[in-house]
Structures are given as structure tokens and as C-alpha cells.
Amino acid sequence: MWTVTPSPDLVGSVFGLFEFSPNAYCRISPSGLVIAVNVKAGAILGLSHREIVGTPFSVFVTESTLNTFNRFLCDCAGSSGSVHVCKLPMYRRDGAEFLGRLETFSTGTGWCTSSCTFALEDLTKLVEAQGVLEKRDNELQAATIELRNLTNHVMNIREEERRRIASDIHDDLGQRLTAMNLGLHWLSTKTDDQPDFVHSRILELMKMNSDTLSAVQDLARRLRPKLLDKLGLKDALVMLVADIGKRGGPTSKVVYEVARATLDPIVSITIYRLAQECLSNILKHAKANHMTLTLREEDDQLIFTAVDDGGGVGRKEQDGNTSLGLIGMRERALHLGGSFSISNGEGSGTKVEIVIPLSPKDTYDNA
């Protein structure tokens, strides 16, 4: 065995590295006295490093966590080549508490026979920063929930308003136009002694009146299909799809495989509005020849899909959160505890899928 005697230069360099390292280091004896600390460790503990040397390190450890500290020291003496870390509340010289982190690398020489060197870190700022981040995160989550609730509230109000306007248009305007039609019809039977142009003018007015009545009924139906309330979702969807056909849209079909007799009105109107947006998107963007709307009930879930054979949807739209039509659909689905996705279909086209959980029992069947 041979030993190397370090040169004074080497000792000086190593000492300098220890003393002025940006990391804090302490070295303590088997009896727990501080043998050496560097400048950074002194700064953390609030003493000049010279003042600390010779002090039992336990004075910086709170009484309640002294056991944790002693266990850390025993671990240091344990198996060779392992890193040991402990976090514990500690004191500075002025009595201020901080959260310390001690880390050592055990060489296996045994704590009881040799001194122990460990790195010391003050985690106060990190903990504070984590606290601030956590608080911001909570605030953000709360704001998101608030915004979602507000959106839902606005959607519900809009839905209610549409229902009211639709019924005003249907019941008030519709009745007046029907009455006017009856009046014109009556008038047309009393024009025998009038010139022909009076008779034909009355017929023109009758035609104009019944066109206006159809337009008004159509408007009321678009605002809130009476069928949805009267006959249910299936017929309302069939009418919606038929309307798309009339407007030059793709050929389409509705597959309706829902076992329950009735659905919660909120679920019905949500599916109806989702279908409206899907159809409007297909008309506007897809350039499709065919599309299928499917509503299936499966394991207490409603699965709604709108599949077309058009040009497909871009990745940005599939991931994005900036486009209002798609955001609205996602929000409606989330409001009912469901999920929304839009993707390219198998082969070609676009597939929108919305899954909405249903109550396990047939709660709504007697509604």
C-alpha cells in the first residue's frame, strides 16, 4: 500500500472549492459536532461559518424532528454508494424556522467511525413558490368552473328564450295569419259581382299569406321544434335531417337505437342542438355526399355520432379550442358529464362523437 501526500497547492484548491462552493456543505463528527461548514451553509444558518464550527449540529434541528435527523445520520453510515436525503424543519440562528433538505452520499465507511459530509439546502423559497403555483392553479380551476357554469347558464337562458319566442311566433303570429287566411277565403267567395282582377288579387294575397304562414312556422320550428317536446327526439332528428336534404345537403339517414321511452328534456335538447351544429358544419365545410346521424343507448350511456364522407377535418380543428362551434359542442357535452371528440373518419370524412352518461334507472320514463 502506498499513499500520496497532497501538495499544498492541491489542498488549497480543494479547500477553496469547498469554502466558496455555490452549494452549502457541512461536515460533522461522529459525536455530532460541526467540523466544517462553507460560506453558503453559514449564510443559510445565519452565522459566520467560523461561529458554527464546534457547535452540535442538532441545535439547528427542531426538537420534534431530531429523530428524523438521527435516522438520516445512521443511514449515512449504511450501505456504500447510496444517496440519502431528508427534509426537515430547521432553525436559523435568529430562531426563524425554515424547511431544510439534507443530502449525503454514503461511502460505507460508517458514520460511527468517520465524519459525515452533507449538502444543505433551504427549501423555503421553493415551498413558497410551490404554494403560489398551487394557489394560482386552484384559482384557475375555480375560474374555469365558474366560466363553465356561466356558459351553461347562458345556454339555458338562451334555450328558454328560444322556446318562448318560438311559442309566441307560433301561437300569436301563426293564429293571426291563419285568421287572415280564413278572412281572405271568405272574401274570395263574395266577389262574383267584382271584376276578375279583384278576384285574382285576393287569390294572390291568399298565396302570399299562406307562404308567410309557412315561413313563420319554419322559423318557430328552427327556434325550438315543437316535435321535440311533443313527439320526442327521434322525430325531431328525422325532420332536421330531412330539412338538410331540402337545402341541397348530402343524402342522409338517422339511426335511432335508444331503448328508453323518454329522455330527460335537457339531454334531448342538447342532442338536438349538437345535431344542428354537426349538420350545419357538414353543409358548410364537408362537401359530403352522404352522412349518418346515430344515437345509441349502451350501458347507461347515450352515444351520438355524426359521420360524413366529405373532405375530413384538419388536425388543428381536432385539437383546437378556438373555434366557437366546436367549443360550444364540447361545453354542452361536458355540462352533462359527457365527452366530445372530432376526428377523421375511417377512410374519409369526419366523425363527431359525443358520449353522455344517463341515469342508471329509467328515471325519466315517467317524467
Ligand X SMILES: Nc1ncnc2c1ncn2[C@@H]1O[C@H](COP(=O)(O)OP(=O)(O)OP(=O)(O)O)[C@@H](O)[C@H]1O
Enumerate binding residues for ligand X (CB under 6 A).
281-282, 284-286, 308, 310-311, 313, 317, 323-326, 350
Q: Are 305 and 269 in contact (CB under 8 A)?
A: no
For the CB of residue 340, give the shortest distance to ligand X in the complex, in Å: 11
149 to 145, 332, 333: CA distances (angstroms)? 6, 11, 13
- For residues 46 and 311, which CB has a smaller minimum distance to ligand X in the complex? 311
Of Mg ion, ligand X, none, which one sits near residue 324, judging by CB under 5 to 8 A according to partner kind? ligand X
Site string for Mg ion, 314-343 (x = CB under 5 A): -----------x------------------
For the CB of residue 283, give the shortest distance to ligand X in the complex, in Å: 9
Of Mg ion, ligand X, none, which one sits near residue 286, judging by CB under 5 to 8 A according to partner kind? ligand X
Angle at 317 between CA 316 and CA 322, to 5 degrees: 95
For the CB of residue 281, give the shortest distance to Mg ion in the complex, in Å: 4
- For residues 325 and 345, which CB has a smaller minimum distance to Mg ion in the complex? 325
For the CB of residue 293, give the shortest distance to Mg ion in the complex, in Å: 16
- For residues 313 and 356, which CB has a smaller minimum distance to ligand X in the complex? 313
- For residues 30 and 325, which CB has a smaller minimum distance to Mg ion in the complex? 325
The cell 449504511 sits on which residue? 78
Identity at 243, one-letter amino acid code = D
For the CB of residue 324, give the shortest distance to Mg ion in the complex, in Å: 8
The cell 282582377 sits on which residue? 197
Does 38 participate in binding Mg ion (rule CB under 5 A)? no
How many other CB atoms are found less than 10 A from the CB of residue 31?
8
Collapse the DSSP code of 344 into the 3-class scheme (helix H, G, I; strand E, B; otherwise coil) and give the result: strand
For the CB of residue 227, give the shortest distance to Mg ion in the complex, in Å: 23
Q: Residue 264: CB partners within 8 Å, gap ≥ 6?
A: 359, 363, 364, 367
The CA-based diameter of the chain, rounded to the nearest angstrom, is: 140
- For residues 86 and 282, which CB has a smaller minimum distance to Mg ion in the complex? 282
- For residues 1 and 324, which CB has a smaller minimum distance to ligand X in the complex? 324
Angle at 70 between CA 100 and CA 76, to 5 degrees: 85
Site for Mg ion in 269-298 (CB under 5 A): 281
Helices 265-281/233-246 angle, 10° precision: 20
N-to-C CA span, the chain: 94
β-pairing verdict for 290-298 and 350-357: unpaired
For the CB of residue 238, give the shortest distance to Mg ion in the complex, in Å: 22
Identity at 106, one-letter amino acid code = S
Of ligand X, Mg ion, none, which one sits near residue 252, judging by CB under 5 to 8 A according to partner kind? none
- For residues 81 and 347, which CB has a smaller minimum distance to ligand X in the complex? 347
- For residues 100 and 310, which CB has a smaller minimum distance to ligand X in the complex? 310
Identity at 60, one-letter amino acid code = F
For the CB of residue 89, give the shortest distance to Mg ion in the complex, in Å: 57
**What is the DSSP code string of 92-147?**
-TTS-EEEEEEEEEE-SS-TTTS-EEEEEEE-HHHHHHHHHHHHHHHHHHHHHHHH
Beta strands (DSSP E) in 110-266 are 116-122, 251-257
Of Mg ion, ligand X, none, which one sits near residue 46, judging by CB under 5 to 8 A according to partner kind? none
Residues that bind Mg ion (rule: CB under 5 A) add up to a total of 2
Q: Which residue number is nearest to Mg ion in terms of Cβ?
A: 325
Of Mg ion, ligand X, none, which one sits near residue 285, judging by CB under 5 to 8 A according to partner kind? ligand X
Of ligand X, Mg ion, none, which one sits near residue 229, judging by CB under 5 to 8 A according to partner kind? none
Binding stretches for Mg ion (CB under 5 A) = 281, 325
